[in-house]
Structure 1
Amino acid sequence: MKKSKKLVVAMLMVMAMIVTMLVPTMAATTYTAVEGTSTTFKKYLVMDVNASVPSTTFKFTVSKGTAIPAVAASGTTPGTMEVLEGIGTPTIADVTFAAGQETFTSVQTGDSSVTLNTNQKYAKNTATISFAGIEFPEPGVYRYIVTETANTTAGITCDTTEKTLDVYVTDDGTGTLAVSSYVLHTGADAPVAGTDNGSNDVNQTGAALTDKIDGIQNAYGTHNLFVGKEVSGNQASRDKYFAVTVVISNLHDGDILNVSLANDQVAGTADGNADANSGTNAATTSANASKANVTTMTANASGTATATFYLQHGQYVAIQGLPTGAHYVVTEEAEDYKKTEGAPNVTATLVSGSGTHALDDPTSGDIADADVYTGYTNTRNGIIPTGIITKVGPVVGGAAILVVAIIILSAKSNKDEDEEEEA
């Protein structure tokens, strides 16, 4: 009996030792931190259908978000997940748009965060956020804040409101951590927990975050510049081509402005009515004859675009997509004509397609919140002398009549004298 008791005690001691050895081993199990990867979002730039994409660069910052404790569900009200403050400092590359890059007049498949109004189009690029070198030690939702830096490009309006980026780190069920998802959204609330306390947004089927976005949208505000010619006077030639020079500044290097010379039959576009090439005629100087009118203007390194157009009476060009804040100056070679600012009797068709506008705006100024219609009137008059026959004729005619009358009277007088002598 005593031997049996000793045997039982010995077995219990052995089991206790085994348990003692196992417990530290289990407690020592820890996660191996998982390194972040990278994620992307889209950068949309919306503009008028007449505009060209400007040369510009957008910058962003990424900072740590604020931690939010978990909230348990209460009745029919679901709980929310814990949000952890972000770790480390992610980097985000600049996003650059190039002049003349591809644009879209309708929302493309997958571009869920861009909105277009009538007569608008958009360009898009991709922003990349890198989490390289940042290690996440535990499962959880790590929060960061993405903010766009204000852009100084003329005409650009930025969305500088803070955007929330949540990084979901999960246990794959084997004790291994993985970065499961990056979610960009506009709100600051914690994710709603599902019935198993997991996020409805990532871990199970259910109502996703309603404020998720796939990108950030900016606007590029532009207007159009109409430049035309009016000719008047009794010695003025309406066939004559005049050289009109347009200088536009406060652009960016490489910016492209389209120029319309004729109606393209596309609704919502600014259209001109000028010739593609100036003609050759007796009134036009050789310097202005057979010259091509350009269809684009490109800004140089100092942000200035210059072009000379050759216009007859009643003609005008439409320079499209000038950004708000751009400065324009229109000059011309009037030759021996008198020039005055404005061409009030020449009208351009409004972009809306309904109505017209006289070319009576100033020939220099800044692009503000409306299209500009301007030009010059060239006048040449002469004092036309009347013909000498027309002017002197009545005097000569009167003198002739007087001479004839004198001759007749003289003849009659002589006849009377002869008759008296015979008597």
Structure 2
Amino acid sequence: MKKNKLLLASTILATALGMNNLASAEVNYVKSGVIDGAKLEIHKTIKNYDDDKVLMPNVIFKFNIKPDDSVVAGKKEEKSGLDIKPGIVDGLETSKEVSYTNSDKPNSKDKYTYFDFSQVKFTNVGIYRYIVEEVQDTVSGIHYDSQKWYIDVYVVEGDNGFVPKYIVSSKALETKEPVLFSNSFDTTSLVVKKEVTGNTGDKTKNFKFQLLLKENAYFSAGQKVSVTITSEKASEVTTATIGQPLIFELKHNEQLKLDKLPVGITYQIDETSKNSDSYTTTATIQEGEQSQNSYVLNSDKETDKSPDIITVTNKRDTQVPTGVVGTLAPFAVLSIVAIGGVIYITKRKKA
């Protein structure tokens, strides 16, 4: 008898939900937003992750489900005639997570987790309404999805009590569609430029530099970041390894660029040959559209969305040694006097 009641209830609900084929709901959840079963699928994607040279942060996205306490008592769904009630969480795991690591690439940007209603202790038939939201965390560079999803769990009487038969998801209780949380994350860029100035500055000289990307909770040691070193004649592409110094050389008007640098990572730039060979070494940093400011070489700088441009200048001016002129001056005066005396004596003899 109970099996017949369950089949009848399922048929009525399927008709109310516009499902002509009961078996098609689970297969076509992406299209219908209706699940035939007790597990709600949560789809997570990183919408702007399409370049495998970009480093995905180590990050955990969290999702919470709670009863919709705004439901008005006695409210019924028009098509099925069932009461709509706030969801029950007794027997429901109310928090789920999706994790990404530095090893993830664009082909693994879509991930899934599930809320399982099969163990929930429902008290009667009806539609139990829930809200699912993503936790708005504070990881640098990550944009969180603030969409609120409404979940209706259709409960019928089964052989062993009240069981979830269908799950319907929607935004703002409108069109049925599958639950999707879409995130994105920022990258930035770092440019290191070399300038040589002064009347004896050697613009053909290589100056030695060191770049260090520091590991943290979101970017692990050993991960690679693409680097391009550009001169007037050519460009060389290499990689910087997080946690290990990258040694490189730049001449006048050459530069190093990281155009896919993660946001939230700390770097250090140093010219290891600074202030040698009578050069004076200074550095400036320009952050985004801001004006240039002084940068202390080998100091920590955490990246944000604004691109950084660091210009390292070596200046060398050599003056003419004034001491040589001063030493010869007395001899020059004596020479002039002697020449004048010779001329005077010669003229007197002729006279």
TM-score after normalising by structure 1: 0.55
Identity, in percent, stands at 22
| Structure 1: 5+ residue stretches without partners | 1-25, 105-122, 172-176, 190-208, 263-271, 278-292, 351-355, 414-423
The aligned residue for residue 284 of structure 2 is: 342
Distance in 2 of aligned mates of 1:316 and 1:215: 42
The aligned residue for residue 253 of structure 1 is: 219
Q: Which structure has the highest strand share of the two?
A: 2
Letter in 2 for 1:159: D
- Deviation, structure 1 residue 216: 0.7
The aligned residue for residue 174 of structure 1 is: none
Q: Determine which of 119, 124, 128 is the counterpart of 1:134.
A: 119
Question: Contact 2:214–2:267 at 8 Å: present in 1 too?
Answer: yes
Q: Determine which of 273, 277, 295 is the counterpart of 1:362.
A: 295
Q: Counterpart of 2:110 in 1: which secondary structure?
A: strand
Q: Aligned pair 1:89/2:102, yes or no? A: no
Distance in 2 of aligned mates of 1:261 and 1:81: 67
Larger radius of gyration: 1
The aligned residue for residue 22 of structure 1 is: none
The aligned residue for residue 203 of structure 2 is: 238
Distance in 2 of aligned mates of 1:325 and 1:361: 21
Question: Contact 2:141–2:304 at 8 Å: present in 1 too?
Answer: no
Distance 1:404 1:61, change over 3 A: same
- Deviation, structure 1 residue 240: 1.6
Distance 1:359 1:228, change over 3 A: farther
Letter in 1 for 2:239: T
Q: Counterpart of 2:56 in 1: which secondary structure?
A: coil
Q: Counterpart of 2:347 in 1: which secondary structure?
A: helix
- Deviation, structure 1 residue 395: 6.0
Distance in 2 of aligned mates of 1:59 and 1:274: 49
Distance in 1 of aligned mates of 2:138 and 2:246: 25
- Deviation, structure 1 residue 233: 1.8
Q: Aligned pair 1:314/2:253, yes or no? A: yes
Distance in 2 of aligned mates of 1:145 and 1:92: 12
Question: Contact 1:257–1:297 at 8 Å: present in 2 too?
Answer: yes
Distance in 1 of aligned mates of 2:2 and 2:104: 58
Provide Cα deviations, 1:14-38, integer angstroms capped at 9, x if missing partner.
xxxxxxxxxxxx7997649999543
Q: Aligned pair 1:154/2:87, yes or no? A: no
Q: Aligned pair 1:372/2:305, yes or no? A: no
Distance 1:156 1:131, change over 3 A: same
Worse overlay, 308-317 or 246-255? 246-255
Distance in 1 of aligned mates of 2:154 and 2:263: 42
- Deviation, structure 1 residue 214: 4.1
Question: Contact 2:284–2:293 at 8 Å: present in 1 too?
Answer: yes
Distance in 1 of aligned mates of 2:165 and 2:3: 25
- Deviation, structure 1 residue 224: 2.1
Worse overlay, 321-330 or 307-316? 321-330
Question: Contact 2:228–2:238 at 8 Å: present in 1 too?
Answer: no
The aligned residue for residue 332 of structure 1 is: 271
Question: Contact 1:83–1:141 at 8 Å: present in 2 too?
Answer: yes
Distance in 2 of aligned mates of 1:250 and 1:80: 58
The aligned residue for residue 166 of structure 1 is: 152
Distance in 2 of aligned mates of 1:101 and 1:60: 20
Q: How does 1:270-309 map to 2 (within 5 A)?
A: 294-298=238-242, 300=243, 306-309=245-248
Provide Cα deviations, 1:68-96, integer angstroms capped at 9, x if missing partner.
544476xxxx9986434246304665212
Letter in 2 for 1:40: E
The aligned residue for residue 59 of structure 1 is: 62
Distance in 2 of aligned mates of 1:27 and 1:182: 21
Distance 1:59 1:316, change over 3 A: same
Question: Contact 1:261–1:317 at 8 Å: present in 2 too?
Answer: yes
Distance in 2 of aligned mates of 1:237 and 1:357: 30
The aligned residue for residue 13 of structure 2 is: none
- Deviation, structure 1 residue 129: 0.5
Distance in 2 of aligned mates of 1:235 and 1:144: 74
Q: Counterpart of 2:350 in 1: which secondary structure?
A: helix
Q: Counterpart of 1:127 in 2: which secondary structure?
A: strand
Distance in 1 of aligned mates of 2:2 and 2:241: 72
Letter in 2 for 1:380: R
Letter in 1 for 2:130: Y
Letter in 2 for 1:402: G
Question: Contact 1:229–1:343 at 8 Å: present in 2 too?
Answer: no
- Deviation, structure 1 residue 150: 3.6
- What is the RMSD of the two structures over their aligned residues, measured on CA atoms? 4.8
Distance in 2 of aligned mates of 1:380 and 1:94: 58
